[in-house]
Amino acid sequence: MTRALGRVLILAGSDSSGGAGIQADIKTVTALGGYAATAITAVTVQNTLGVQAVHALPPALVTAQARAVLEDVGADAIKTGMLGGTDMVEAVAGILGDWPGMATVIDPVMIAKGGAALLDPEAVEAVRSLLIPKAWLLTPNAPEAGALTGLKVESLDDQRRAGEALLRLGARAVLMKGGHLAGERVIDLLMTANGESAFESVRIETRHTHGTGCTLASACATGLAQGLTLTEAVARAWAYVQEAILQAPGFGAGHGPLNHAWPLKGRL
C-alpha cells in the first residue's frame, strides 16, 4: 500500500509564502497521489515580491533528517531543490551515494523567481561534479543550464547543445526547460542518450509562475516513484504544471503561486 502511493523524499528549502520550495513540493506530491517526506535545507523569509532572508540549516541536520526518513518510512524517489552552498551539496551527494539505485530528480535551483541567489557561485562546480552524475533526471532552466555548462542558452538549438553537455557530465536524462527563453511558444526538451521528446505550448501570459520549477521537478519525481516511465512521468508533470498555472488563485502582488490542488477539485 505504501509503495503504491509513491514515496518521495524532498531535500529543499522552505518558502514561507507557500508557493515554492518544500511547500510546493509537498502540495504537488500529494495532489498527484504520492506520499511526501522532507529534509529541509534552509528556511527563507519570502513572499510573491521576493526573498528577504535565508537561514541555511546545518548539513549534518539535513543528513539526519534524510536518514531518519529513509531508514524508517523509506522512499521510492528523491528530489532535491535549494541547497545553498558547497557543504550542503556534499552532504546531499553523500546521502544519494548511500542509497544507490534510488530514482533521483535534481532541480539545480540557483535563483529565486524574484532574482535572489539561492546557490553560492562556488557551489556550482560541486553540483556539476557531485550531483549531476547521480541524476536520473536533471531539470535546469536556461540560466541554470548556462551556469552548469558555460554555454549560452538563448534558443532551441542552444537548449539542445546544453542538454547534450549535461548528459556528457553523467545525467541519465535532462529536461531542458524553455520558459526563460523569448518567444510566443515554450518548448521543454526531454533528452536522453536515446533521443529527445519535446513538450510545447503557447506561452501563458501571467505573473503567477512562482514555484513552477519546484513543482515540475516534484511532479516528475512523483511519477517515477509511482512506477511511471520517464516519458510518462514528465508528460504528466508537464500537463499538471500547465493547468496549475491556468488555475492560479491570483494571490500576492508579485510572482503569484500556482493552484497545486487543482486535481483534487470536487474530490473532498
- Please list the active-site residues: 177, 209, 211-214
Residue among 116, 130, 77, 62 nearest 237 (CA):
77
The answer to whether 171 touches 132, Cβ cutoff 8 Å, is: yes
Strand pairing category for 77-80 and 185-192: unpaired
| Rounded Cα distance, 184 and 192, in Å | 26
| 72 residue type, one letter | D
Q: Which three three-digit cell numbers place residue 44?
A: 527563507
Distance of alpha carbon 151 from its chain centroid, rounded? 21
The 8-class DSSP code of residue 210 comes to B
Distance of alpha carbon 38 from its chain centroid, rounded? 14
DSSP β-bridge partners for residue 257: 210
- DSSP string over 50-77: EEEEEEEPPHHHHHHHHHHHHTTT--SE
Residue among 141, 159, 267 nearest 211 (CA):
141
Strands laid side by side in the 185-192 sheet = 50-56, 35-47, 7-15, 77-80, 103-106, 137-138, 173-176, 185-192, 195-202
